[in-house]
Structure 1
């Protein structure tokens, strides 16, 4: 009698769980669709004429893509800005990933005078908005003679406080000090230990921070606007601001096309690299 009552009860529980799981998946799919609609509208409007955009919303692509492209290129060289942003973002990402990992490794496994003070100072600097030091940064670049170059956009990002903090917390939970001691006993130098032992273990976290660093550098607007003066050196966000203030703003299709060109690389980066974010965070979540 008890077996007969248990079987229906278990089947009801499984059905309830399946129903709840189905509702959750449906809500997640609906949320994803709602989040994707604005990007889809942007891509569709990039192919429509100004008059068609003013008539209303539709998800059917138009036929004015080349006309919008020619109108946009008459005022700004969007691909030159694309190239500048790509050069700066790639260099910033590579330098930040390497030197921040090196700094985090030093904070995690070395003992030196002033270590705690420097780490606390780094945490405090994370809370200070970068815009507060923009005037002083401009004066420093002016005195060094590096205005209107890519140097002020690349060199200051070598060691990011947030990236150093994240990598330090990650490596302390994934790299056991015994591995470092074993490498030292085998006669490996400190730099070789970092490159052969620490870096491979830190790669998931470095990959995650590289995604955010690349996107942050790609979207950087205020600093390039302040330190760059030559139009041929403008980055893509600065060109988008210039495009908004020009006569191209009267052609909404051209504006949507310029925004799409600037946003699509970020969407592609997230689409293919977002899995590393989950992997790196979950990898450092449990300390063995």
Structure 2
């Protein structure tokens, strides 16, 4: 028992140290967002915030409409997350539950598409949306999210390990339609995996820089990463406090999303660990 307590104490200490090390960069970012450029250059890192937050904020908004970029990124990220989660769950349910001709070929195609970097098709995708008249709109950023190969693969494996065929058969015997079975039985069971993928999808869409940079031309439609990238050549880049503040604003939604949905990641990982 004493040896077990010692090992447990060591593990707790290591976990606490790991948590502190992971939190330090975020704390530095928040503290530097409240300091002036001179304080950052002269004093380096400090544990205590300063009083230059409003000054940095005024400098930041004088060069970019940060809240417009924030709302644009939020709109795109939420739409991408919702569409990707729902249609990927529907597709994964079809692969896992139904037997149809060509199912294995289609699923292998999904696996192959997982291995193809999206940047390889960027030029062809640009020509396609240009011919369709979708340039300088959010459609190229939102609509392709319906096809998410990795999410389909992940959810399909989750369904196979957690959704028993007896539940589906019982619902069919009771007269429930296929869509009703999906929405009332399968979808709630899949929620831990859907929420897990939703977190990563939201973060990926929020941080997406290349595609919005290519398809968006109007400054008022820029997402926040594109706006932040445009600051590199402006005078605000010389004010480190304002840059830290802009980065802090861009990170807040990701931290909030992870804070409220992280429990689903644990549920998803532990699903299927105990067999009855």
Please report how far the alpha carbon of residue 271 of structure 1 lies from its aligned counterpart in structure 2 after TM superposition.
2.2
1:235 to 218, 223, 227: 223
Please report how far the alpha carbon of residue 284 of structure 1 lies from its aligned counterpart in structure 2 after TM superposition.
3.1
Matched, 1:175 2:175: no
Structure 2's unaligned 5+ residue stretches are none
Who is 1:117 aligned against? 105
Q: Distance in 2 between matches of 1:31 and 1:186?
A: 52
Please report how far the alpha carbon of residue 184 of structure 1 lies from its aligned counterpart in structure 2 after TM superposition.
1.4
Q: Distance in 1 between matches of 2:116 and 2:263?
A: 30
Who is 2:208 aligned against? 220
Deviations, residues 133-190 of structure 1 (Å, cap 9, x unaligned): 0000100000110010000000000131111111100011111112111211222111
Please report how far the alpha carbon of residue 268 of structure 1 lies from its aligned counterpart in structure 2 after TM superposition.
2.0
Please report how far the alpha carbon of residue 61 of structure 1 lies from its aligned counterpart in structure 2 after TM superposition.
0.4
Please report how far the alpha carbon of residue 244 of structure 1 lies from its aligned counterpart in structure 2 after TM superposition.
2.0
Who is 1:28 aligned against? 15
Structure 1's unaligned 5+ residue stretches are 1-13
Matched, 1:75 2:63: yes
Deviations, residues 175-212 of structure 1 (Å, cap 9, x unaligned): 11121112112221111111111111111111111111
Matched, 1:193 2:181: yes
Q: Distance in 1 between matches of 2:62 and 2:210?
A: 25
Query: Where in structure 2 are the equivalents of 1:145-160 lying within 5 Å?
Result: 145-160=133-148
Who is 2:4 aligned against? 17
Please report how far the alpha carbon of residue 262 of structure 1 lies from its aligned counterpart in structure 2 after TM superposition.
0.2
For residue 63 of structure 2, give the secondary structure of its aligned residue in structure 1: coil
Who is 1:248 aligned against? 236
Who is 1:283 aligned against? 271
Q: Distance in 1 between matches of 2:41 and 2:67?
A: 27
Q: Distance in 1 between matches of 2:97 and 2:139?
A: 31
Query: Where in structure 2 are the equivalents of 1:32-51 lying within 5 Å?
Result: 32-51=19-38
Please report how far the alpha carbon of residue 83 of structure 1 lies from its aligned counterpart in structure 2 after TM superposition.
0.1
Q: Distance in 2 between matches of 1:245 and 1:255?
A: 12
Q: Distance in 2 between matches of 1:261 and 1:157?
A: 25
State the TM-score, normalizing by the size of structure 2.
0.97
Q: Distance in 1 between matches of 2:204 and 2:247?
A: 16
Q: Distance in 1 between matches of 2:97 and 2:222?
A: 41
User: Which has the larger Rg?
Assistant: 1
Deviations, residues 12-46 of structure 1 (Å, cap 9, x unaligned): xx122111111111111111111111110000000
For residue 183 of structure 2, give the secondary structure of its aligned residue in structure 1: helix
2:88 to 97, 100, 121: 100
Q: Residues 133 and 143 of structure 1: is their aligned pair in 2 closer, same or farther, counting only changes over 3 Å?
A: same
Pairs aligned (count): 275
Q: Residues 72 and 27 of structure 1: is their aligned pair in 2 closer, same or farther, counting only changes over 3 Å?
A: same
Between 1:267-276 and 1:135-144, the stretch displaced more is: 267-276
State the TM-score, normalizing by the size of structure 1.
0.93
8 Å contact from structure 1 (residues 81, 233) kept in 2: yes
Q: Distance in 1 between matches of 2:171 and 2:23?
A: 49
